[in-house]
Structure formats: structure tokens, C-alpha cells
């Protein structure tokens, strides 16, 4: 694998050289791999040619799948959709793949069989009225909409043949949804619609999400690459949640584990797959509810591009291979791997699976596939919708990541986050039967609405002012206090929370800087039984504060006028302001909080008078290994002022 990845890096260099010299690249000019989710805390690269993630080719400027945002903790090399079916009248299945075990994001390669059509673009939409992408048809705070197809056997713009590709004749529309709410900023939903655009009926249709997950803290590893980087992952699957997951097994050889999970969750499908009878034969009737879907969801994990050892861990290199089921993509799509081999994916090599015979396989470089089916035969012009989600979560507690197989509590946050993703998908479908029933039409539009979340108040508008040993945060009252919740159908603003980071935390724990803010103050209405009933008198101004060139009227300030909070000059702080509501007991909703409006500030003395031209050095005297210094020669800090 190391040789393979190194070869790809050299290829990228050659392609870059070809571009500079004006030569034609083997890549359609309408391909777009520049977009990634940025509204929440999970940053995922999406493309209009079937792949997810970017193989770290944009590192460190563009994330592949980073969580938390800005942390440098990556979770995915590459992902892509797999679609398998048997064309009516043929006895052999075909599988079209968006990405496979190749360690490459090259467009011209076997297994990269989805293409964009000329003129194809990725559209961005948002439900946020202040967004430049505001659109009444938007679903989330940041939608990406893209279309691609498996029908081309050649790259449209170049004519280059896609190796060994036999199209099924499907067109695919992918819509991704992301939110900035703190209870939803850790997942991105992938809403796939697969349409039969060919001339043959597609029987035994199965659809899957393939992933080459690798969880690493690139602040420790540096540029991703090499055997050591990829060979320390572990995986497993929770069938009751339809949730596969990957984690950094031990952090070796770079340092501590990233202490982070990435989950791949099947949220649902419309229509449901077909039932099986007691003998396992497929019937003509679809499942009745989401609760039955786990029995038709399949998980497989294997070693990266592997063709040695036990066949259960082989890479499935053939579309259809009934005689050697673990080497066939279609066979992988329609059944799970044996339980004991699944157990081995997150166990150390010196620990046996439950049969007492099968050795553990972790850590290793692995890929996996989460799939669902079979669906009813898909006639030309018909479509099926399958919805997945990437869900991230920090490890819970102080236990070692390598003990994941012993301690499900380590996944407590991941499970809670996955539950929120499922709630977003379910929307009004409270009983999970894919139908709008009496009492479920919350928004009154007569349709089953999915991808809905309860709405916290809108974020306040925030402004920061820095002075000598002082930071003052101001915010308005209109934005949050006039928010309307479409679920509870009332104005339910309750109060504000102010957060602040401690000085130096970005040095000691840079990957979690954005998560490091502590609650500094909470202020809420005094006329109900919710919260502390502090009122707003301490932070409310007698008259609004205004600033030149800014039309916003700021009615609140922190710290309160009677609270002399001081800050250290020259140190970086994060301040965050959020609004929260009172919850809705009648609908079983807890109090919800908006995303924080974050301000990054460094307090200090005001600029010197124009006539002061003396040169200053800070800190003076300089102390080696001071708290604000990092360890390297390029990260030690000293400031100069008024240099000529």
C-alpha cells in the first residue's frame, strides 16, 4: 500500500506539470471537487462525479472529512456510492462504483465509474435568510446539490475510456444537508436518488456507501501518507443502529489517539426494501416500518486492496462472483460478513473473537461497505431514494481507544449524535412507516416532511471591542428574541449564554480550540419557571450601543457593567454568544441552543501616538519555553513594534 500511495503522489505532480504546460488532462473540465461543508463542525468534501472526501489532496487547505472543524483531525480518505443490480434478461449482476480501494482520487481509473455531464455544476442553497445562498427550496443551513451518472463509458470531455465499466444505466442525484445547531453540527446527511435512466428493468437492486475511513490527527502526523498513517485504524458495526464506524486505534507511531469516531449510518429508504420469508427468499411485499430495516442492512469490512490470507478480508475485485462471494462486489452488497470476522475488525491481533478461534485484525488499513436491499424491480424512469449520514463524535471518557471492543461506553457520544441524525431524517414520520399519518402533519402542508429539526432561536448579532486588559462583547436583541419555532409554533426565546476560552488553551490543545470555551455567564427571562430567572438587567444597556458604519443596535454587553473581568494582554481568547429557548414539554423537546457566534480576540494596549517611534520588543526579557511558545524553531514567539 505504501508504494501505491507514493505512486499517486508522483502522478499528481506529473498532472500538475501537464496543466502548467497547457496540455490536456484526463479529467472533465466540469468536474468539481472544490466544495466542502463549512456551516457546521464537520467539514466534508463533496464532488459531482460520485466521490466523497478528497484523498487528502487538498491538505491542509481543504478538508477531506475533518471534525471538529479546524482541528486537523481527518476521518476519511475517500468514499463513494455503489449501485448493484441484475439487468432484466441477464443472469449476471453489474455493480457501478463511485470509488474503490485504489488510494487515489484520479478520475480515470478502474472503479471510478461515475461521471459528471458537460455543464454540470454543484448548487449551494441555504435556509438562512442572511446567507448569500438563501433559497426557499433549501432543506438545511447548507445544502449541496449535484448530479452524476454511470451511463458514460468514456469521460465526456476527453473521450478517455473508463476501464472495465459496464453501466447499469442509472442517473444519481445527491443532496447533502448540514446545520450549524450545536445539537446537529456533527453530521452531514447524504440524500441519494437513484433513477433507472436505461432501457432494462433492474432486478435485485442493492445500494451501498463504500468508505476508506482513516481517523488521524494531522497536527501530529503532518502530511497524510505512508504505511504508518493508514495502518492504525479499526472498525465495527452496530446492527441495531444501522451504524458502521471507524476510529484511530492507538495513535501510533505519532502520539496519542485522535480520540474520535466517524460513523456511517443508514437513515432510511423510500420505498422500503422487500421482505424475506422464513426461508430467506425475497417476497413481493415491502417492509412495513423503519424498525425492520436493520434486517435488510448489511455491513462488510476488508483490508485495503487485499488479495492474501483469509478470503473474508479480500477486496471484492469482481462485479459478480457467486463462487467466491467475498471477491464479488454484488455478493458483498447483499449480505453481511460473518459475525466473528466482524468482531475481529476492532480487536487487537492477540485477542480472539467470540468463537475463540478467529484472530483480531486491528490495527490495519481497512475499507468498508454499508448497504441495503433488495428493492423492488426498478423499471425505466423509476427511482429509489436511499439516505445515509456521516456522523462524527469524540470518544467518551478516559478509556483507551484500543479497548473499543470491550467498552461500548466509549461510543456514547457517537450514539447520541447518530440519534440526532436519525431524528433529522425522520421529521414528521413519527412511527417510521414512510407515510403521513393522522397527527403527524406538524407544518400543515399535507405532505410527509423529512429533514426537519426543532429550531432554537436565531443567533444574535455580535460585536467585540478590545482594549488594554479588557474585552467587551455586545449583541443585539431583535435577532434572537423575535425567533419563531415552526415545531412548537410559538415565540419561545428564553435567554443568552456567553462563553469564553482560557488563555493559552490553543497552545496546549489546538485541535480542540473551538470546543474549549467554558460557560462564563447565563441570562434568562424572569417571568417563567424555566432556567435561573436571572433577568437581563445586569447586561442590558440603558440605550443601544452603535458603531460607525454599522446599522445594528446593540442592547447587551458582557462583562456586565458591575463585573470587572480582566484579560491578559497578548493572549488569544475565544468568546461565544448563543441564544436558547425554553423547550416544549408538550412535544417532548428539551431547551435548544443556537450555534455560538464566535469572536477571536487578542487584548492589548492601544496603538502608540503618531510621534512615538521607539522600537519595542515583547516579551522582554524573552524566556525560553514560555507558555505561549510551541516546541519548534518556527513556533517560538517574539513581537517587534515600530521597526523602521
pLDDT of residue 11 exceeding 50, the answer is no
The x, y and z cell numbers of residue 188, run together, are 452531514
Of the pLDDT bands very low, low, confident and very high (cuts 50, 70, 90), residue 562 is confident
Q: Give the pLDDT mean for 443-448.
A: 88
pLDDT in tens, 627-638: 555 555 555 667
Domain boundaries in the chain? Answer: 2-426, 462-601, 610-644
pLDDT in tens, 323-380: 999 999 999 999 999 999 999 999 999 999 999 999 999 999 999 999 999 999 999 9
Residues 383 and 365: their CA atoms lie apart, in Å, by: 35
Q: Which residues contact 517 (CB under 8 A, 6 or more apart)?
A: 499, 500, 501, 574, 575, 576, 596, 598
Of the pLDDT bands very low, low, confident and very high (cuts 50, 70, 90), residue 23 is very low
Is the preceding omega at residue 621 within 30 degrees of 0, hence cis?
Answer: yes
Of the pLDDT bands very low, low, confident and very high (cuts 50, 70, 90), residue 14 is very low
pLDDT of residue 608 exceeding 70, the answer is no
Q: Which residues contact 120 (CB under 8 A, 6 or more apart)?
A: 30, 32, 48, 146, 147, 148
At 545 the pLDDT is 96
Residues 186 and 206: their CA atoms lie apart, in Å, by: 28
pLDDT in tens, 278-303: 898 999 999 999 999 999 999 999 99
Of the pLDDT bands very low, low, confident and very high (cuts 50, 70, 90), residue 624 is low
pLDDT in tens, 402-431: 999 999 999 999 999 999 999 999 999 999
- 133, 139, 174, 234, 323 from 127: Cα distances, Å: 8, 6, 18, 37, 50
At 629 the pLDDT is 58
At 292 the pLDDT is 97
- 46, 126, 269, 448, 455 from 442: Cα distances, Å: 32, 22, 21, 9, 13
- Tell me if residue 373 falls in helix, strand or coil: strand
At 106 the pLDDT is 73
pLDDT of residue 544 exceeding 50, the answer is yes
pLDDT of residue 21 exceeding 70, the answer is no
At 118 the pLDDT is 84
pLDDT of residue 104 exceeding 80, the answer is no
Of the pLDDT bands very low, low, confident and very high (cuts 50, 70, 90), residue 158 is confident
Of the pLDDT bands very low, low, confident and very high (cuts 50, 70, 90), residue 6 is very low
At 226 the pLDDT is 92
Average pLDDT, rounded, for the chain: 90
Residues 370 and 390: their CA atoms lie apart, in Å, by: 12
Q: Which residues contact 596 (CB under 8 A, 6 or more apart)?
A: 182, 459, 499, 517, 576, 577, 578
CB atoms near residue 548 (< 10 Å)? 4
At 492 the pLDDT is 87
b/e 3-30 (16+ beta carbons within 10 angstroms → b): eebeebeeeeeeeeeeeeeeeebebbeb
CA angle 457, 175, 369 (to 5 degrees): 115
Of the pLDDT bands very low, low, confident and very high (cuts 50, 70, 90), residue 584 is confident
Residues 306 and 389: their CA atoms lie apart, in Å, by: 27
Residue (of 284, 330, 300) closest to 86 by Cα position: 330
pLDDT in tens, 478-517: 989 998 876 667 788 999 999 999 988 777 776 676 778 9
For the chain, count helices (H), then strands (E): 8, 29
Q: Give the pLDDT mean for 525-552.
A: 94
Express as a percent the part of the chain with pLDDT over 70: 89
Of the pLDDT bands very low, low, confident and very high (cuts 50, 70, 90), residue 609 is low
Radius of gyration of the chain (CA): 27
- CA 440 vs. chain centroid, Å, equals 29
Amino acid at each position: 500500500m505504501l508504494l501505491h500511495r507514493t505512486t499517486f503522489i508522483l502522478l499528481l505532480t506529473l498532472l500538475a506539470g501537464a496543466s502548467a504546460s497547457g496540455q490536456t488532462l484526463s479529467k472533465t473540465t466540469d468536474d468539481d471537487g472544490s466544495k466542502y461543508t463549512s456551516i457546521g463542525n464537520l467539514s466534508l468534501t463533496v464532488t459531482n462525479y460520485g466521490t466523497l472526501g478528497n484523498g487528502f489532496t487538498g491538505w491542509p487547505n481543504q478538508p477531506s472529512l475533518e471534525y471538529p472543524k479546524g482541528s486537523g483531525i481527518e476521518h476519511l480518505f475517500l468514499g463513494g456510492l455503489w449501485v448493484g443490480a441484475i439487468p432484466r434478461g441477464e443472469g449476471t449482476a453489474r455493480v457501478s462504483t463511485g470509488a474503490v480501494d485504489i488510494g487515489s482520487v484520479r478520475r480515470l481509473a478502474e472503479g471510478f465509474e461515475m461521471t459528471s455531464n458537460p455543464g454540470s455544476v454543484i448548487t449551494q442553497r441555504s435556509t438562512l435568510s442572511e446567507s448569500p445562498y438563501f433559497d426557499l427550496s433549501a432543506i438545511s443551513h447548507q445544502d449541496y446539490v449535484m448530479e452524476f451518472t454511470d451511463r458514460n463509458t468514456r469521460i465526456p470531455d476527453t473521450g478517455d475510456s473508463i476501464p472495465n465499466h459496464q453501466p447499469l444505466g442509472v442517473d444519481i442525484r445527491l443532496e447533502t444537508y448540514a446545520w450549524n445547531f450545536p445539537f446537529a453540527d456533527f453530521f452531514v446527511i447524504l440524500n441519494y436518488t437513484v433513477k433507472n435512466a436505461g432501457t432494462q428493468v433492474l432486478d435485485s437492486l442493492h445500494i451501498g456507501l463504500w468508505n476508506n475511513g482513516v481517523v488521524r490527527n494531522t497536527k501530529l502526523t503532518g502530511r497524510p501518507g505512508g504505511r504508518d498513517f493508514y495502518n492504525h485504524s479499526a472498525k465495527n458495526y452496530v446492527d441495531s443502529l444501522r451504524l458502521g464506524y471507524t476510529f484511530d486505534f492507538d495513535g501510533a507511531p505519532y502520539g496519542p489517539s485522535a480520540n474520535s469516531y466517524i460513523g456511517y449510518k443508514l437513515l432510511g429508504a423510500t420505498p422500503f426494501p422487500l421482505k424475506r420469508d422464513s426461508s430467506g427468499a425475497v417476497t413481493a411485499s415491502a417492509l412495513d416500518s423503519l424498525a425492520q430495516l436493520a434486517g435488510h442492512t448489511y455491513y462488510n469490512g476488508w483490508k485495503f486492496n487485499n488479495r492474501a490470507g483469509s478470503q473474508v478480508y479480500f477486496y471484492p475485485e469482481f462485479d459478480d462472483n457467486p463462487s467466491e462471494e467475498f471477491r464479488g462486489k454484488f455478493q458483498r452488497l447483499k449480505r453481511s460478513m460473518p459475525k466473528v470476522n466482524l468482531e475481529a475488525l476492532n480487536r487487537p491481533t492477540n485477542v480472539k473473537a467470540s468463537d475463540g478461534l478467529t484472530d483480531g485484525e486491528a490495527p490495519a488499513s481497512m475499507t468498508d461497505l454499508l448497504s441495503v436491499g433488495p428493492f423492488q424491480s426498478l423499471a425505466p424512469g423509476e427511482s429509489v431514494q436511499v439516505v445515509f449520514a456521516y456522523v462524527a463524535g469524540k470518544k467518551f471518557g478516559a478509556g483507551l481507544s484500543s479497548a473499543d471492543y470491550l467498552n461500548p461506553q466509549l461510543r456514547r457520544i457517537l450514539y447520541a449524535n447518530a440519534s440526532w441524525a436519525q431524528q433529522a431524517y425522520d421529521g414528521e414520520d413519527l412511527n417510521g412507516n414512510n407515510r403521513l399519518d393522522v397527527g403527524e402533519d406538524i407544518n400543515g402542508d399535507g405532505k410527509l416532511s423529512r429533514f426537519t429539526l426543532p429550531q432554537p432561536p436565531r443567533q444574535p448579532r455580535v460585536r467585540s471591542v478590545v482594549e488594554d486588559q479588557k474585552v467587551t462583547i455586545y449583541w443585539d436583541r431583535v435577532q434572537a428574541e423575535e425567533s419563531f419555532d415552526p415545531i412548537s409554533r410559538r415565540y419561545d426565546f428564553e435567554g443568552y449564554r456567553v462563553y469564553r476560552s482560557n488563555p493559552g488553551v490553543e497552545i496546549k490543545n489546538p485541535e480542540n480550540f473551538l470546543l474549549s470555551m467554558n460557560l462564563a455567564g447565563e441570562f434568562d427571562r424572569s417571568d417563567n419557571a424555566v432556567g435561573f430567572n436571572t433577568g437581563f438587567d445586569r447586561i442590558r444597556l440603558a440605550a443601544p450601543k452603535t458603531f460607525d458604519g454599522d446599522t445594528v443596535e446593540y442592547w447587551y454587553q458582557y462583562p456586565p457593567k458591575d463585573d470587572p473581568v480582566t484579560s491578559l494582554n497578548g493572549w488569544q481568547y475565544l468568546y461565544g454568544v448563543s441564544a436558547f429557548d425554553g423547550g416544549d414539554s408538550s412535544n417532548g423537546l428539551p431547551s435548544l441552543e443556537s450555534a455560538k457566534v464566535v469572536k477571536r480576540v487578542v487584548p492589548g494596549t492601544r496603538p502608540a501616538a503618531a510621534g512615538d517611534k521607539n522600537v519595542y520588543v515583547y516579551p522582554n526579557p524573552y524566556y525560553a519555553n514560555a507558555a505561549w511558545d510551541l516546541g519548534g524553531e518556527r513556533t517560538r514567539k517574539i513581537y517587534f513594534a515600530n521597526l523602521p
